[in-house]
Amino acid sequence: MGFKMGIVGLPNVGKSTLFNALTKTAAAQAANFPFCTIEPNVGEVGVPDARLDRLAAIAGSKQIIPTRMTFVDIAGLVKGASKGEGLGNQFLANIREVDAIAHVLRCFEDGDVTHVEGRVNPVEDAETIETELMLADLESIEKRRANLVRKLKGNDKEAQQQDRLLAAAQAVLENGQPARVVEVDAEDAKAWKMLQLLTTKPVLYVCNVGEAEAADGNEHSAKVAEMAASQGNSHVIISAQIEEEISQLEDDEAAMFLEEMGLEEAGLDRLIRAGYDLLHLETYFTVGPKEARAWTIRKGMLAPQAAGVIHGDFEKGFIRAETIAYDDFIACNGEQGAKEAGKMRAEGKTYEVKDGDVMHFLFNT
């Protein structure tokens, strides 16, 4: 399982440029006017992971298959979107389908690129988008609670739970806070997720800065960092223009270009890592002569469920997992060396998979 991240923001903040760079396509038209993205563009990228290459080299794997991440480029929201302004509700619906929101904020000065509000203020831009999402959630909650009245009169337990959760979300939203601040008990977690409220989505602020500021950011990105920290959210600094240039280069050329710009890695790597942290994700590997492959799971997932990411039958018939920690696999020069050194473990149904585990599943058909 990978995950789906929606790229949102006001018009002309660099969303489509970033999307093009991330997916190495020109599927999203990047142009200097609002609403150049009429339909949400979807692109998949392989998640870069140097560990996978090392494992494949040791195992002599013929094929390397990284885990995948999906980006959805959602057209620019504007003030009033929750009431249908701009391209309004169709884009709010697109946001419901993603796991997390990458909120691109304009942190660069450029007189040649129009700002929809006529000024550069990323904190106010973030507040504009958040307000529209909160208003859309409030409208949705009011309609849904009205539709539950009949079931509530009939003492429907599921309706009671849903109404209770909607009321909790409504209370914080009316107080000017996003629904993600609501504390939800484990027994309500599934029902809460099913509500699909826009402001429950975790947010990663992407500060789009000029090329010269890509390494350290600027005063605009510093204000975003302060805002993100106060909210318990995270942020990354990226120059969409640099990422677009890198996407056109071969690996060796890209590495030289990054070095010249004073950057240790591409923005894509930072963005994915921040996204993984945001959604509490990690990676395990399956390695053999045929292929070396990465699999994404949620932190804390048990071995049978991790096996189920490969195929449902692996989870249903799970017997045990032969497991080698990544560092042990490398240090012992592969599976055989790890076996001989006593570093391969047989783990059962209660084993919590760790990031970097190299696994082989045994199961009944």
CATH number at residue 83: 3.40.50.300
Separation CA 275–CA 281 (nearest Å) = 8
Q: Are 47 and 66 in contact (CB under 8 A)?
A: yes
Does an H or E element contain 260, and which?
Answer: helix 251-260
Mean pLDDT of 324-333: 97
Separation CA 199–CA 178 (nearest Å) = 5
Residue 283 is labelled as binding a ligand: no
The predicted pLDDT at position 26 comes to 40
Task: Say if residue 190 is in the same domain as residue 315.
Answer: no
Structure tokens given for 138: 């409030």
Q: Could you tell me what percent of the chain has a pLDDT over 70?
A: 88
Query: Has residue 212 been placed in a domain?
Result: yes
Task: Say if residue 326 is in the same domain as residue 255.
Answer: no
Q: How confident is the model at residue 200 (pLDDT cuts 50, 70, 90)?
A: very high
Q: Is the pLDDT of residue 252 over 80?
A: yes
Task: Say if residue 352 is in the same domain as residue 240.
Answer: no
Task: Say if residue 171 is in the same domain as residue 248.
Answer: yes
Task: Domain count for the chain, please give it.
Answer: 2
Residue 37 is labelled as binding a ligand: no
Q: What is the pTM of this model?
A: 0.81
Q: How confident is the model at residue 258 (pLDDT cuts 50, 70, 90)?
A: confident
CATH at 313: 3.10.20.30
HSE at residue 9, side-chain half, CA atoms within 13 A, is 28
Residue 23 is labelled as binding a ligand: no
Selection from 49, 108, 25, 55 nearest residue 265 by Cα: 49
Mean pLDDT of 247-259: 83
Task: Say if residue 59 is in the same domain as residue 114.
Answer: yes
The predicted pLDDT at position 86 comes to 46
The predicted pLDDT at position 106 comes to 92
Residue 15 is labelled as binding a ligand: yes
Residue 155 is labelled as binding a ligand: no
Task: Say if residue 227 is in the same domain as residue 305.
Answer: no
Residue 25 is labelled as binding a ligand: no
Which residue segment(s) compose the domain that 71 sits in? Answer: 4-278
